[in-house]
Amino acid sequence: MDINKLKQDPEKIQQLIDLLGSLLSDTEQEPETTQKKRTKKKATKKPRATRKKPDKQESTNKFLDMPEMNMHKEDSKIDEKLQQFPPTPRSRPSVESISVRCRICGREENISQGLLFEGANRYKCNKCSTQSG
C-alpha cells in the first residue's frame, strides 16, 4: 500500500480503521479521559520514636587503653635527638605606639606605627571611618 494513494481515498482509510478496531478485544475500550479531582488527605502527626536511654552505668574511657595516647611523647624525644641547631632566639623589636590626632573629629589616640599609611596628618579614627561621608 502506498500512503499517497491512501490519502486520496478516504474510504480505504475508514476500512483500515474499522479493521484495526475489530482486532481490539471488547474489554480493551478507550480509557475515559475524565478524571476526578483528588483532594489531599491531611497528614496526621506520628509521634517520633525516642532513643532509649541505656541504664545508668559507669562509662569507661576507652582512649586510655589505646596506643595513640602515648604516641606523641616519643615524638618530642626523637625531635631532641635529631635537632642539629638550637632554636633561634626571637629578636623582633617591640612595637612602639604613636600619638596621633583624627583629622575629622580631632580625638587623640595612641596607635601602632603599622596602622599609619599616609602619615600622621592623614589619620582617621575607626569611629569616623565607619561613618558615611
Q: What is the DSSP string of 97-119?
A: EEEEE-TTT--EEEEEGGG-SS-
Percentage of the chain modeled with pLDDT above 70? 83
The helix/strand/coil state of 22 is helix
Of 99, 104, 105, 106, which is closest to residue 120 (Cα–Cα)? Answer: 99
pLDDT of residue 87: 78
pLDDT of residue 55: 67
Domain presence at residue 119: yes
Average pLDDT over residues 79-96: 83
Quote the CA–CA distance of 113 and 101 in Å, as a whole number: 13
Domain presence at residue 81: no
How many domains, the chain?
1
Residue 88, pLDDT above cutoff 70: yes
Domain presence at residue 101: yes
Domain presence at residue 111: yes
Domain presence at residue 58: no
Domain range enclosing 108: 97-130
pTM recorded for the entire structure: 0.33
- Which residue in the block uniquely carries the three cell numbers 596607635? 111
Domain presence at residue 114: yes
Q: What is the pLDDT of residues 25-70, one digit of tens each?
A: 655 555 555 666 677 777 777 777 777 666 667 778 887 888 877 7
Confidence band of 132 (pLDDT split at 50, 70, 90): confident
pLDDT of residue 105: 93
Domain presence at residue 64: no
Domain presence at residue 18: no
Confidence band of 81 (pLDDT split at 50, 70, 90): confident
